[in-house]
Structure 1
Amino acid sequence: MRNKSSKLFDPLRAKETLRIEMPRRPQKTFRDLPSWYHRVLQFSYRADDRDVEPWDFDEDISDLEEDKTQAGDGDKQPKEGEEDEGEDKGENCECDREDPDCDCQCGSDDYESGEDDDIESEKSYNDSDADYYYMLKEMREERKREFLEEKLEYQKEEEQAREEERVMEKEVLAAHKSLEKGEKQGNKTPLDPLAGQLFKIFCSDYIDHCFVPPYRTKMVEFYRVGDDHQAIPGRPEPGGETDMIYGDMHLDSCTHCQFGPLCPPIHASQQAVKVETTDGKHELSFKFISDGYLSVEVSRELLSMARGDLPLLDLPLAAPEVFEFVGIKRDLEKEKAEMQQRHVGRRSPDSR
């Protein structure tokens, strides 16, 4: 009697045994589609019958930076004694979603409804509205790409603004040290009349916590009532004190305040000159370092509230209680000359 182990090897049977059938991606149903699609349908052809616009996807587009961070976390090597995260998600599992005793997540809703599950040539959703779904999906992906480009441009502009603010802060700091040295030697630096002067102001903390593109010049302007300005209702009249001045502070297109009256100092000093806003609710603290430089302290409360009819500015908890701005007097004649010089430099040789 022939032993079973002596049975001849059949190569055809071996090939048949080793044949592996690739699993087919399970088809999605309408209920399996992501939540953003169901939301958009509420005001598209199923409800309000209006066209879907790119900004309709903004509500539930996930934060790109957070997505990037999560993607990077997946590349980390597991610590000793921990299982690989990829195996937990079924990436290396061989159960083909058919083994009910397997602990992987191949069959979970999160796994099947991922954003990248339609990359394959065979689409995973083929119901009657499949064309509409994939059209909206492409619109949403394009919107995410636009968000990424805008974010990169925002970061670039913010960093450029921050660097410019720091350069100006260093310039004013040098002037402040010079004033401090002069005061120790008993020197007094006279100041020109303040009315009619305009200072560009800078603060890197403001860029860190309040930056809104496009980057705009922040400034403080000093004037007397009647000098090209109408008297503003609610302002106290100077009452014969002709040296009393008022001022406007502009931080961006939305945030500004008015202050005064202020009795301008006649000498540069490290002593703070305090003045109330015209509504009497806030206080500014100026230091006049020289004819060309000053500093002003602004509370975060004022920054939050000085926005006209707009909602309050929601400053982060990390923002300082007091923002210290530095000011550099604007020289209009110098700026005009520089502008003309740049214009001449751009002219072609033929035109010259």
Structure 2
Amino acid sequence: MNGRGVITQICIIGAGPAGLLLGHLLRAEGIDCVVLERHTPDYVLGRIRAGVLERVTVDLMERLGLDARLKAEGLVHDGFNLTDGERLIRIDIAGLTGQHVTVYGQTELTRDLMDARHGRGLEVVYEAADVALHDIESDAPFVTYLKDGVQHRVDARIIVGCDGFHGPSRKAIPVSVGKEYEREYPFGWLGILADVPPCNHELIYANHARGFALASQRSETRSRYYIDVPLTERVEDWPDERIWDELAIRLGPQAAAHITRGPSIEKSIAPLRSYVFAPMRHGSLLLCGDAAHIVPPTGAKGLNLAASDVHYAAEALTAFFRRGDNDAIPAYSDRALARVWKAERFSWSLTRLMHRFPEDGPFERAMQVAELDYIASSRAAQTSIAENYVGLPV
């Protein structure tokens, strides 16, 4: 049975933060769009993701006028810390760059975008199954999907894939056209979320003989901690007390003295990967966010890279539809990838610095110590880290 067809200017696939951000930006410019999401709203909000926002992400929310809760509840951080044993190296973001990052959970940002969709005229179709892209190399692409057993079709001039690493958008680009760059890491991050005060008012990244650890937060009363574990580990083998014990060792005595233990409200193990797909545009299809690239979470770049993609995509699409600029869309991929690769480099280098890799020997460890010594004693090195952490210009 066939459902009613829809004609629009842009079809966005994926209603995570990237898809919703882009949809809101386009509607603000009077550009028609439809967003398709295969999951339910509750499922989308249930995904536990990043919590450190760069200026680019905050600026987009401000531009949309959807930043009231972010400003009221977000935690402004002027720095973060690297630790190696008992040494704590503070990177003074504000002092070195004049900027800051904001701790505000991706779930909350997504909720703000979702709650505003009706008032802003943004149409989102949830539970759209079996999404498929067609004729993307033409000027008249279309998307089909199933909802409630009925097939629907969306005809558009442009399709934007914001549907993550496993979505159909990137897979619609011919193998002969795209190139994949990938580095898989031999460990994953075991994360625990708990309603307890954070052990420090700023993030702590720890390099310890037993492995990596990160003390992070979502609010003044909700903490997010991570340790790296072999990919063979299972969450079931890590009861809460074992995680808290390991965190206390790896984060060091100063942080351990301030850890408040409590029952987990979420635990998971996420593998680490560096991945880039190029180009990020083919024909009438653009890719944004995880559909085109993955970064290790070490540098807090995943959501922020998606936001910078959206910034470039919104500029290109607005120039094309509002001003008839035919060069804007072809230029999108190169503009986005230039920033993607810089973020990939930073995330990879910070991961390499703060983790003990199984294949490493005394030489690699000595290089880590030397690098941390240099960072501790060099304002130039700290400035470089701060500039990358707070986010390079778009």
Query: Which bin holds the TM-score, normalised by the shorter protein?
Result: under 0.3
Which structure has the greater CA radius of gyration? 1
Name the structure with the higher strand share.
Answer: 2
Q: How high is the TM-score relative to the length of structure 2? A: 0.21
Q: How high is the TM-score relative to the length of structure 1? A: 0.23
Higher relative contact order (CA closer than 8 Å, sequence separation 6+): 2
